[in-house]
Amino acid sequence: MVEDAQYRNFSILQDEIRRVNHNVGAVADSVGQVSAQVGQVHADLTTTQTQLNELRDKFEQFVNRAERIAAIQRSETVVGNLEAELDRTYGHYKVVRRTSIGTLQAFDIGNVTDRTVQQVSEELMIQTPRYWLAPALVALAAWSRDDKDLCDRSIEAAFTRDPAKTGLFFALVLRRQGRTAASARWLRHYLTSLDPRALTREFAVILEAASQDAFGTQGRHMIATQLTEWNDLLRADPAVTAKQIDGWVTEITTHRGTLDEGLYPQLAKVSPQWPALKDLLEHASAHGNVIAKYTAVRDAQISLSSDMADRLDNILETLVTEYDAEELPVVRDVTYHKAVIEHEGDTARARQDADALNAALDETMDVATLQTQLALHPEMLGATVGTQQIAIGVGINDFTQAVQKYAAGYRQRYIDNLDLALDGQHSTFAATLGFPGWQTNSSTNQMYAEQSLAQVWSDTVAGYLNRVRFKESNYAIAAVILIVATIFGFLINVAAGVLLMLAAAAGCGIWLYVKKTAADKLYNEAVNMREQALHRSIDIYRAALAEYVDARIAYSEEDAKANQLAELVSTWPTTVGNHEEAGLAG
């Protein structure tokens, strides 16, 4: 009977054990599936991280571009508004300007009645208050009618409003009408009234006229003497010369190129000194651009019209159009916004450029600065290329010193040996295997550097393998669990103890098996990756070195142009007579 009962219990137990086995098997399957999915998730995570980094880089690029486009659009709108404002506020002066030149030409031909000229000039006098040219125009009309009293009063009125421009205007008009002696008197009067430390901008007209030989021999001689005297006086102060040299240095600096980072992709990523190297290359590139610009200036053909009256008309037109001081603040703003558009939204470079150009838009300048600005930005002062050529000839010493000073400036930041650093993210292998980072220098022997890199890689991989390897301690953990479960089971019941022992043994066995296969998989993967990872890093290192060699070659080529530039400047033709003049020299 007892055996029957025991046999029945035993068969129930067998059934239970079979069921447990079955369940454990199912659990093992599930665990295996989960492990596979975890492996998949891990791979996905690495891919996602790489993609996220790429996305972040692209986003930053997009933000920069969007900022620049916004700056360009803003500047375009502002330029339009400012120019409209200029037109609105000072547009009515244009009528007076056109009338003055037109009157002179009408006098030449003689086909306009005095009464008409008188009427027009008096109308304009009423319509443009405070403008110096209006009474000057009345004076011209009165002069043609022989009305001395009115002429004197009008000239006085014009003189009160703007003495410098009036004096210059009549000096030119008298010359145009052939009154040489009177013109010389006006010119002398004008020149002696000037303070060489604070010349107003229309003085550029004198230099323009001198370059076009508009004042004749006597006038040219007078101007040359006066300029020499002023220059000697001013340049006794070294600060004045230093200011001119700085002006030239700024000019060379604004001619820096922009380096295309696509030419040095690996170097840009790998070297922590890349921004400094890029800056050095950009500074060296200025020489080539300056050579191109000033060769064009030197070789520009000047052709002057043979008719003296024509030339003087051009100069008169410049005089009356260009130099109204009230317009200057608006013109300065327009200059800045145009620079932003030209530099495609790079507001920092635009500000530099605009400041350089606006140096020519100061209300007053000393004579040395005026001549320098005529050499640098003649269009800001209404001068032509001929005047620019002469002005550069006057400032040769400043230019020469500026070239050397500029070159010494960027050479002080010369980099002889570049640091290279491969960080933990330089390749996907590095990210996966936990590369700690490696630094070297371009002056290190390549073989030693590659050996050191291989050493770091083998240490990294060894560390990784150690981390992912299946550890013997797992066996100990499994054994402990088994023992604890067994003891616990036996404390309850022999049968339960046996049952629990078998279940625990099966469970631990499954767990150990799954862990071992996962660890082995990672281990084998890492062993396969090891060679690839090292080669990848060596490729990046070699590419960076090659790009550095290219960069050095590019630098020496550009740097050598400094000598060419110095040569161009020192051989600048300083004679005035290199323009064609068909006709009388007056």
Q: Residue 232 or 416: which CB sits closer to another protein? A: 416
Using only C-alpha atoms, the chain has a radius of gyration, in whole angstroms, of 43
Q: Please state whether beta strands 580-581 and 303-304 pair in parallel, antiparallel, or not at all (unpaired).
A: parallel
Query: Considering the complex, what minimum distance in angstroms separates the CB of residue 231 from another protein?
Result: 17
- Tell me which of 30, 40, 417, 439 binds another protein, using CB under 8 A: 417
Query: Considering the complex, what minimum distance in angstroms separates the CB of residue 447 from another protein?
Result: 15
- Tell me which of 153, 188, 197, 405 binds another protein, using CB under 8 A: 405
Q: Residue 238 or 262: which CB sits closer to another protein? A: 238
* Angle (nearest 5°) at CA 505 between 504 and 510: 95
Close Cβ partners of 584 (under 8 Å, ≥ 6 residues apart) = 306, 308
Instruction: Name the residue among 316, 303, 306, 383 with its Cα closest to residue 177.
Output: 316
Residues 352-391 that bind another protein (CB under 8 A): none
Contact between 445 and another protein per CB under 8 A: no
- Tell me which of 173, 376, 391, 407 binds another protein, using CB under 8 A: 407
Contact between 443 and another protein per CB under 8 A: yes
Q: Can you tell me the distance from the alpha carbon of 274 to that of 311, in angstroms, rounded to the nearest whole number?
A: 54
Q: Identify which range of 213-221, 285-293, 405-413, 516-524 contacts another protein by CB under 8 A.
A: 405-413
Query: Considering the complex, what minimum distance in angstroms separates the CB of residue 237 from another protein?
Result: 10
Total of chain residues touching another protein, rule CB under 8 A: 17
Q: Residue 276 or 297: which CB sits closer to another protein? A: 276
Query: Considering the complex, what minimum distance in angstroms separates the CB of residue 400 from another protein?
Result: 9
Query: Considering the complex, what minimum distance in angstroms separates the CB of residue 416 from another protein?
Result: 4
Tokens 């004008």: give the residue. 190
- Tell me which of 43, 70, 325, 408 binds another protein, using CB under 8 A: 408
Contact between 404 and another protein per CB under 8 A: yes
Query: Considering the complex, what minimum distance in angstroms separates the CB of residue 281 from another protein?
Result: 13
Q: Which long-range contacts (CB under 8 A, 24 or more apart) does 163-168 make?
A: 163/193, 164/190, 164/193, 164/194, 164/200, 164/202, 164/203, 165/132, 165/133, 165/202, 165/319, 165/320, 165/323, 166/132, 166/136, 167/193, 168/202, 168/205, 168/206, 168/319
Contact between 412 and another protein per CB under 8 A: yes
User: What x/- string results for residues 196 through 235 when contact with another protein is judged by CB under 8 A?
Assistant: ----------------------------------------
* Beta strand extents in 94-180 (DSSP E only): none
Contact between 448 and another protein per CB under 8 A: no
Number of H helices, E strands in the chain: 23, 6
Q: Can you tell me the distance from the alpha carbon of 10 to that of 495, in angstroms, rounded to the nearest whole number?
A: 9
Question: Helix (H, G, I), strand (E, B), or coil: what is residue 73?
Answer: helix
Instruction: Name the residue among 392, 419, 370 with its Cα closest to residue 272.
Output: 419
Measured N-to-C along each axis, helices 216-235 and 180-192 cross at an angle, to the nearest 10 degrees, of 10
Query: Considering the complex, what minimum distance in angstroms separates the CB of residue 442 from another protein?
Result: 11
Residues 294-323 that bind another protein (CB under 8 A): none
- Tell me which of 62, 414, 448, 513 binds another protein, using CB under 8 A: 414
Contact between 549 and another protein per CB under 8 A: no
Contact between 413 and another protein per CB under 8 A: yes
Residue 215: phi and psi, rounded to 5, are: -100, 5
Query: Considering the complex, what minimum distance in angstroms separates the CB of residue 404 from another protein?
Result: 4
Catalog residues that contact another protein under the rule CB under 8 A.
238, 401, 404-405, 407-409, 411-417, 443, 559, 562
